[in-house]
Structure 1
Amino acid sequence: MSPIRSGGPMKPFLELVASEIVLFDGAIGTMLQARGLPAGDPAEKWVIERPEEVVRLHRDYVEAGAQVLTTNSFGGTRFKLSNWLDPSRTRELNRRAAELAREAARDEAYVAGSVGPTGAFLEPLGTVSREEMKEAFAEQVSGLVEGGADLIIIETQMDIQEAVLAVEAARSVCHLPIIANMTYNPGRAGYRTLMGNTVAECVQALEEAGADIVGSNCGTGIDDMIQVVREMKLVASRPILAEPNAGLPELVNGRTVYRETAEQMAGKLPALIEAGARVVGGCCGTTPEHTRRFRQKLDEVQGRR
């Protein structure tokens, strides 16, 4: 891995992406569950209740070779937080999530402020107006920026309208690099989001909204993700990010299990890069061991020792 710092300030993130394949961390939620987060509890609770465990996980990813840490704020809009936290603390929680990642990153990794779906539906399908949703995203991003995020990652989006609002909201409150990821599922009509959006229309809309990097995370294992990236490459003019799950989840004795091993996924990483990914990492079911194997494989691919 090339040094992020060379005795001076951190290299601008987009400059790093232009110069090498960049490695994100792996899962947050499934890893915290493996470390004791009760089933059904939102991962963000530990930002308040067990911050030391969040820092420890972030640090494990840094030591495994991740160049970017994702904040534990995936469900950090007021729509999601209101299920268990006073919505007036939304900005505070997101600021704290970024501070914890910043503490773990030290000067060895970038911090990406994670913004997930709101879980709400826009009018006319739902009751939330476009302005309300945009305000919720802006509030979350503002907290992440205050906490020290170096960039924003809008992820696991299933509705292109919501994703575009998230990008626009982020752009309205900060000048940081913005990554925008959709989640695609395979089907007879090809890869589409849950709301029926195609890969091509999502890439185009996200780039027009101002995303600096477009990508996909979650929903599939690495084999399907390779195909998704190939489709993205046909239309994307910005760098592409890919963060597959460790396979599809299976329920075994009441526990969710992901079966793709670190070795299996790392073995397919060159194909993901060849398909067009410039930024790679892991989503649900991946661990610091996956990150470690990814780092080793990337160093091989990029001719480093």
Structure 2
Amino acid sequence: MSNPLTDLLAEKGTLLADGATGTNLFNMGLMSGDAPEMWNTEQPQNIIKLYQGAVQSGSDIFLTNSFGANASRLKLHNAEKRAHELSRVSAELAREVADKAGRKVIVAGSVGPTGEIMEPVGPLTHALAVEMFHETADGLKAGGADVGWLETISAPEEYRAAAEGFKLAGLDWVGTMSFDTAGRTMMGMTSEAMVDMVHDLDYGPLAYGANCGTGASDVLRTVLGFASKGMPTPIVSKGNAGIPKYVEGHIHYDGTPELMADYAEMARNCGASIIGGCCGTMPEHLVHMRAALDSRPKGDAPTLEQIVEALGPFSSASDGTDGEGPTRAPRRGRRRG
């Protein structure tokens, strides 16, 4: 069936997604440890500003401020009963911005991990995970989201539970994982294994891919891994703006707008058709990414050496698919806390 996301992708060929949520909100005064989702009702003007920053920079898709709007994460702020409400309001604010954009812009309802470890390793049952994802997805749908957007997932069990939650809500979805442990997710999944999982889902995503992780180089190596499997489902690349560094007590990302422009071009050449930024990606980065996608012709897939030359070294010697395990190569900077 038709969906606004697939329709726009068919029309344009490549779509620019948005940038960071947390980085931009911290710059507006959000304090570390606070729940960004609370701002949907407490400071809606800042959430509208966040959304407008992406749209005005040329994004075709932007994510709602609902990454942690599930009962498990909100329980830390005594707001577990507000998951549906905060999800709905995040999408309502986004719908208002998108409908005033003067062009077709997709509202993607951000859905992050529960923050708990699923059985059999941890205590979170499949049924409870599905229930939490369903609640968030239903709120996003009620608020007018065009599509759900699962992101920063590490465990295949949680990805599958989210798929069931979206199905119960009747919401089409996109799903990305974070490959931040020497080419694997924190729970050990490789890019190739993710493609196999996506292919086998009963209610699969409209697009799949990678977000966050380490630097822009690493996410492109993961995208190449996706593309090598030859699956027709569109691929998403949403990499961080460089490597995080601590400067005077704050985290800064060293990726320049020019570097992110090169990243966007190379992501498309690697096989991604939905391209955005994650942590550290600001509106000025998006402007350069938009210009690169609009002005530079699509080329051949880059070699690993060409990726390193343009964007910097990989954080590990392996992409995780060669069975070598998580042996890290030397890297610069520090991991996010």
TM-score for both structures, normalised by structure 2: 0.83
Within-5 A mapping of 1:29-40: 29-40=22-33
Deviation of 1:237 after TM superposition, in Å, equals 2.8
Q: Alpha carbons of 1:302 and 1:143: their partners in 2 closer, same or farther (altered >3 Å)?
A: farther
1:12-27 aligned at under 5 Å gives the runs 12-19=4-11, 20-27=13-20
Structure 1 gap segments, 5+ residues each: 1-9
What is aligned with 2:84?
Answer: 91
**Residue 41, structure 1, aligned to residue 34, structure 2:** yes
Q: Residue 239 of structure 1 is aligned with which of 223, 234, 254? A: 234
Q: Report the counterpart of residue 4 of structure 1 in structure 2.
A: none
The alpha carbon displacement at 1:186 in A equals 5.2
The answer on whether the counterparts of 2:4 and 2:146 sit within 8 Å (CA) in structure 1 is: no
Letter in 1 for 2:197: A
CA contact (8 A) 1:56 1:104 kept: no
What does residue 278 of structure 2 align with? Answer: 283
Given that residues 87 and 136 in structure 2 are in contact (C-alpha distance below 8 angstroms), is that contact kept between their aligned partners in structure 1?
yes
3-state SS of 2:226 partner = helix
The answer to whether the Cα contact below 8 Å between 1:163 and 1:206 also exists between their aligned partners in 2 is: no
Offset at 1:107? 4.7
Structure 1 match to 2:220: 226
How many residues are matched?
290
Unmatched segments (≥5 aa) in structure 2: 299-337
Residues 78-117 of structure 1 mapped to structure 2, 5 A cutoff: 78-108=71-101, 109-117=105-113
Alpha-carbon distance, 1:175 to partner: 4.1
- The residue type paired with residue 219 of structure 1 is G
Aligned equivalent of 1:151? 147
- The residue number in structure 2 matching 1:160 is 156
Residue 54 of structure 1: aligned partner: 47
Q: What is the identity, as a one-letter code, of the residue corresponding to 2:188?
A: G
The CA deviation string for residues 170-190 of structure 1, in whole angstroms up to 9 with x for no partner, is 0221142x1110100252xxx
Partner of residue 185 from structure 2, selected from 182, 185, 193: 193
Between stretches 38-47 and 133-142, larger displacement belongs to 38-47
Name the SS for the 1:38 alignment partner. Answer: coil
Corresponding residue for residue 200 of structure 2:
208
Q: CA shift at 1:99, angstroms?
A: 0.8
CA–CA distance in structure 2, aligned partners of residues 302 and 12 of structure 1: 25
SS of the equivalent of 1:118 reads coil
SS class of match (1:44) = helix
Displacement, 1:11?
7.7
Q: 1:132 aligns with which of 116, 128, 134?
A: 128
SS of match in other structure, 1:65? coil
Tell me the TM-score normalized by structure 1: 0.91
> Would you identify which runs of 4 or more consecutive aligned residues in structure 1 move more than 4 Å?
none
Aligned to 1:118: 114
Q: Give distance in 1, aligned partners of 2:258 and 2:76.
A: 38
Question: Counterpart of 2:31 in structure 1: which amino acid?
Answer: P
Equivalent residue number for residue 248 of structure 2? 253
Question: 1:272 deviation in Å?
Answer: 1.1
Deviation digits for residues 13-66 of structure 1 (CA, Å, limit 9, x no counterpart): 212223410011110111100111112212112112111100011111111111
Aligned 8 A contact 2:113 2:152 in 1: yes
